[in-house]
A and B are shown apart, each in its own frame.
Chain A
Amino acid sequence: MQEATVLVASGEIAGLIGPNGSGKSTLLRAVYRHLRPRVGTVLVGGHDVWRSSPRLAARRTAAVPQERLGDMDVSVRDMVAMGRIPHKGPFETENAEDASAVREALERVGLLGWEGRKLSTLSGGETQRVLIARALAQRSAVLVLDEPTNHLDVHHQLELLELIRTLGFTTLAALHDLNLAAAYCDRLHVIDGGCVVASGPPAEILTETLLADVFSVGASITTSPRTGKPVLSFYPLEVARSIPSPLS
């Protein structure tokens, strides 16, 4: 990932889109303090993430990374309670604030009452909601999501993004699905080959030229009468190649 500038306004949902290997995950890892950038700074709420202590940074930024390793024997409650870690000292016990943070988080994602379930027994969509609940329990202002809708069926993809929209975090999400990105993001940042090649509202950014140059696909782009958002209908690659302008 080369030096890039990505600005996310408070309260907005910003989407990072780009082909595989373009550097989206790398950028996000620098934001949630997993990968130190060799050059440049990451500022969250005006604070330099890499100059703050990790705990302080974690109080400001929560993340749902792509990784799914880990001990699946953990309970829903324990996973969500991990969101309180940045707020707790070494020997501090759980207090009322922790309990209410966990409870409220579960409530907002619609999983109140699921505390005792083991993560291994949940579906993909339910697991994602648990991880979002963990981020909620962290009580941060910013949420970073790396491909949150991968492996989810259509209903759960929409459900998850609509949930995120109601939560009010300042959100930075890497998304593969361009239609979802168009429908749910306030701004898009396009990453290609380690550089940010375009930034702006979806309607401005998503053009046939961009799709051809960055994603090597052709599509017809219309605006949905119901939602007012751009809708992309992708052509098969052969068809796209036969059209004079896009992929020639």
Chain B
Amino acid sequence: MVGLLAGLTVAFTASVSLGPLPIPPLTVWRILLHHMTGLGRPTGWTRVQDDVVWDLRLPRTLLGVVVGAGLTATGIVTQALVRNPLADPYVLGISQGASVGAVASIVFGLGAFGALSTESAAFLGAAGAFVLVYVFARRSGSMAPLRLVLAGVALGFAFNGIAHFLVLQADTPGQTNTALFWLLGSLANGRWGQLRWPAGVLAAGTVVLFAKARALNALMAGDETAASLGIQVERLRRQLLGLASLLTGVMVAVSGSIGFVGLIVPHALRMIMGTDHRWLIPAGILGGAAFLVAVDIVARLALQPQELPIGVVTGVIGAPVFLLLMARRRDLGGGP
């Protein structure tokens, strides 16, 4: 855990220091300290450095922290919900629903949705997807993992199709670009105002999740086992679905759909820390934040001055890592 915290600090510092205008790490911390506490004399750095750090890189880095942590938390919830450590929030179809909302608002312009911004439209899309998945996954009062995955995947495909169709309806290349960039995820719009909702939901969600950590452990052992240990399984599933949808909606609304984080980070942490959710959840928050911030550094700097959509970087890293993890799992029938 200490290692993760250290990793996060390093990634955070690197993210704020690195860029077209490199700023020494020590200067970065002195600027932050000055802004937060008023200490230190603002003569050790330039005005430009101050602006770059405080107005540009810090919000973006913090967005990476929040979204990375949020997506990882969602991944942990999803994996418990469908009882499979190889599940990803995409399996629930929620982020695809958010994509539909966001792309619709980009392509048709704000006018078609009243005063809605892309973010709100994305969140509404996520909420709509949640309702649909919930309705389709339930049968006679219960929501079995398999039904949940089937409903989520099917709806996800449908939403993806709609979103891509909407992209084709774009009038201008600018709209198409914006829509595509959104579909692949980006932290480029990190602004201070954006952080409120995701950070708030993340904080509340983490507390709720941590309170349910033992219940999640029991759920992973089986429905009947969990029931015999005093867990109300169906109620817990509904709560987890709601939590996953809320987190997904909020995160995807501000940063577009970023894949694989919710899958790789929890899985890697499981291999290191074990399966106890009381450790996995805090580790996931720290690890996910560090991971996404590090990925964002690559996205920003790899092909400078072009900025890669973050979804591209996670995909390029994520797919090989996923395949590697799959190859190592005994219960999938392969490997020693």
Q: Hey, what's the 0/1 contact readout for A68-103 against B, CB within 8 Å counting as 1?
A: 111111110011001101101011000000000000
In the complex the two chains form, what is the Cα distance from A153 to B232 in whole Å?
A: 35
From A54, A68, A91, B232 is in contact (CB under 8 Å) with: A54
Given the known inter-chain contacts A70-B220, A82-B218, please indicate yes or no for A58 contacting B211, CB distance below 8 A: no
Closest residue of chain A to B271 (Cβ to Cβ) is A73
Can you list 22 A-B contacts (CB < 8 A)?
Answer: A29-B224, A32-B228, A34-B224, A34-B227, A54-B231, A58-B229, A66-B224, A67-B225, A70-B222, A71-B83, A72-B331, A73-B270, A74-B220, A74-B221, A74-B275, A75-B275, A79-B221, A85-B218, A85-B229, A86-B230, A120-B331, A144-B228
Is B330 among interface residues, defined by CB-CB distance under 8 A?
yes
In the complex the two chains form, what is the Cα distance from A58 to B231 in whole Å?
A: 9
**Contact-residue size bin, chain B (C-beta under 8 Å from the other chain):** 20 to 34
In the complex the two chains form, what is the Cα distance from A121 to B212 in whole Å?
A: 28
Contacts of B221 in A (CB 8 A): 70-71, 74, 79, 82
From A65, A66, A70, B83 is in contact (CB under 8 Å) with: A70
Number of interface residues of A (CB under 8 A): 37
Is A63 among interface residues, defined by CB-CB distance under 8 A?
yes
Give me 20 other A-B pairs in contact (C-beta within 8 A), A32-B224, A85-B215 excluded. A33-B227, A33-B228, A33-B230, A54-B230, A54-B232, A56-B230, A58-B230, A68-B222, A69-B83, A69-B222, A70-B83, A71-B221, A71-B275, A73-B274, A78-B276, A82-B217, A85-B217, A85-B229, A85-B230, A90-B211
In the complex the two chains form, what is the Cα distance from A20 to B217 in whole Å?
A: 31
Contact status A65-B331, CB under 8 Å = no
Contacts of A85 in B (CB 8 A): 214-215, 217-218, 229-231
From A53, A78, A82, B229 is in contact (CB under 8 Å) with: A82
B residues touching A (Cβ–Cβ < 8 Å)?
83, 85, 210-212, 214-215, 217-218, 220-225, 227-232, 270, 274-276, 330-331
A residues touching B (Cβ–Cβ < 8 Å)?
29, 32-34, 53-59, 61-63, 65-75, 78-79, 82-83, 85-86, 88, 90-91, 120, 138, 144
Q: Which 5 residue pairs of A and B lie closest in terms of their CB atoms, listed nearest first?
A: A58-B230, A63-B228, A90-B211, A65-B224, A55-B230
Main secondary structure, interface of B, reads helix
Closest residue of chain A to B225 (Cβ to Cβ) is A65
Cβ distance B211 to chain A, nearest Cβ, rounded Å? 4
In the complex the two chains form, what is the Cα distance from A53 to B65 in whole Å?
A: 39
Contacts of A59 in B (CB 8 A): 230
In the complex the two chains form, what is the Cα distance from A86 to B228 in whole Å?
A: 9
In the complex the two chains form, what is the Cα distance from A58 to B274 in whole Å?
A: 25
Contacts of B225 in A (CB 8 A): 63, 65, 67, 70, 82
In the complex the two chains form, what is the Cα distance from A34 to B222 in whole Å?
A: 11
Contact status A78-B211, CB under 8 Å = no
Contacts of B230 in A (CB 8 A): 33, 53-59, 85-86
Cβ distance B27 to chain A, nearest Cβ, rounded Å? 40
In the complex the two chains form, what is the Cα distance from A34 to B227 in whole Å?
A: 5
Cβ distance A35 to chain B, nearest Cβ, rounded Å? 8
Cβ distance A114 to chain B, nearest Cβ, rounded Å? 15
Given the known inter-chain contacts A67-B223, A71-B83, A71-B275, please indicate yes or no for A62 contacting B214, CB distance below 8 A: no
Closest residue of chain B to A59 (Cβ to Cβ) is B230
Contacts of A90 in B (CB 8 A): 211-212, 214
